[in-house]
Chains A and B, each alone.
Chain A
């Protein structure tokens, strides 16, 4: 081995160390909160007030925190189901409406199209807290206050501007010729959308779904204001209720347990949909 190649090998070795070291360090910072939170949720209640380090339970694992959580309100299962109904409903409604709207905005010509589109996008500028009161009154008039369906409609409304924008871009990226080829092949309207175009805008749909799910799942303020009966609370509302322990002390154990429970569906949704982020799906269509 010559001097030079030896030097090059040594250089490559150190670069490898640095590369992997930085990667591991970054991963540590991302994963540490999860470990701290999950481990802390297994502390027995006597220990839950201790400082966060070391995070693991000192006197053996216990499920006290989860038991507290389950005993609270209408039970953790009921609240999880509430949250799931609202979040999944939001996803489905958002996707259906934004796919149709995005397709329309991308492909059809109609009067005031751009004005309408800008108006939809402009609603992103309105802080939703500022319209909470009117929303509350409207829902009350519709007889939808304190209902999960009403909450779902609010979430869909808040989610739509971004989603329509996203889907319009996704449809814009699909070459027109593909649609024309499909029309010559005899696919029309809904068939054309479902069989040919939808698979091509799947990355957009999955982005919209992930955003809709996470936002609906984590939303707190609207849920707190609009839901009034205990049995209807979604998880974020339950979490604040759980936090308040006896005599104003915070029950950190229950909070950590709640956080852990809340993470699971988010992870699940993300892992399920992220494979549709496949790049180069469009490759080979044209050119």
Chain B
């Protein structure tokens, strides 16, 4: 097998952004590989949109350097960076037909009429909007408008596509179908794409790599699987996954052993173990907890209430020390509110975090 060297498409080097004296982005370093689909995700106000807008050139970079395809674009005009952006609100030109919307950037760059026609035809075929070319944005549905907005990005043949929460304005059903559409588009075009969202489902399903941001800092970068199964800290652990990972207060009682709610639990043994007796947090995902039918060695808990969702059931329980634990249950054991049950855990799925929320590995 030969190793194909993959070129870096977008490189952010110690990017900082201040509004007045307030710094909102605190030195971001990131390298995006050619053809990669990278998703920025984080709670609102984490700086993900600001970061995207800095890559687009709509927001000035206070400090640091942005390189796209080896070219320093930090101080270039948005139109000269080889990027195209799709906005949450579509931002179509309402006074132009769909065709004119698609052709606008090409007209601005003085592309020949034949070439414009060719590219518009190509993009509208890919997005299946060829029958809408003579309509105005006002006559289109939300999903169609979103396609036009994407089409406007495609015709520019950019090195990098930037998406700023493009699906947030669509209803739930349309969002799912557009998500699949976007994944298809990425496969077909093969461009580098950077996508901002606060929706973790979009992040998990679309991304090659996820960048989790909080308060203007990167918390973790990794594939969806890495992020989900091997979170770097309690923030990432709690942010990705629904219902959230159970994070329980506990005490480190020995190498690879944590005491939670009176029960000692094995956690994967760590290299840098915290001192014995120190406070730690124990994390386990709801689907890795099971109701123990025999009620022997498990962790005792009381059922508070449960939600039935068809295929699964979420059982919200309270442990003996008052902490809450959610169980994703796929069995059909009869459960009543207030019932005492015993919980067991999948071996090897337990995580431990130190007092600052950092992962103990």
Residues of A within 8 A of B (CB): 175, 177-178, 180-188, 191, 195-196, 199-200, 280-287
Contact = CB atoms under 8 A, between A and B. Distances in A.
A184 B78 contact: yes
Nearest to A285: B94
B91 A177 contact: yes
Interface in B56-113: 56-58, 77-79, 83-85, 87-95, 104-105, 108-109
B338 interface: no
A178 B56 contact: no
Contacts of A191: 108
B140 A181 contact: no
Given A186-B79, A284-B145, A181 B108 contact: no
B91 A178 contact: yes
Contacts of B169: 287
Interface string B105-142: 10011000000000000000000000000001111101
A177 B89 contact: yes
A286 B79 contact: no
B91 A181 contact: yes
B209 interface: no
B90 A185 contact: no
Contacts of A281: 94-95
B152 interface: yes
Nearest to B142: A287
Contacts of B77: 183, 188
Given A284-B94, A285-B137, A186 B109 contact: yes
18 contacts: A177-B89, A178-B91, A181-B91, A181-B92, A181-B93, A183-B78, A185-B156, A186-B79, A188-B79, A196-B93, A284-B138, A284-B139, A285-B89, A285-B90, A286-B90, A286-B91, A286-B92, A287-B169
Nearest to B104: A185
B94 A200 contact: yes
Contacts of A183: 57-58, 77-79
A281 B137 CA distance: 10
A280 B137 CA distance: 11
Nearest to B56: A184
B111 to A, nearest CB: 10
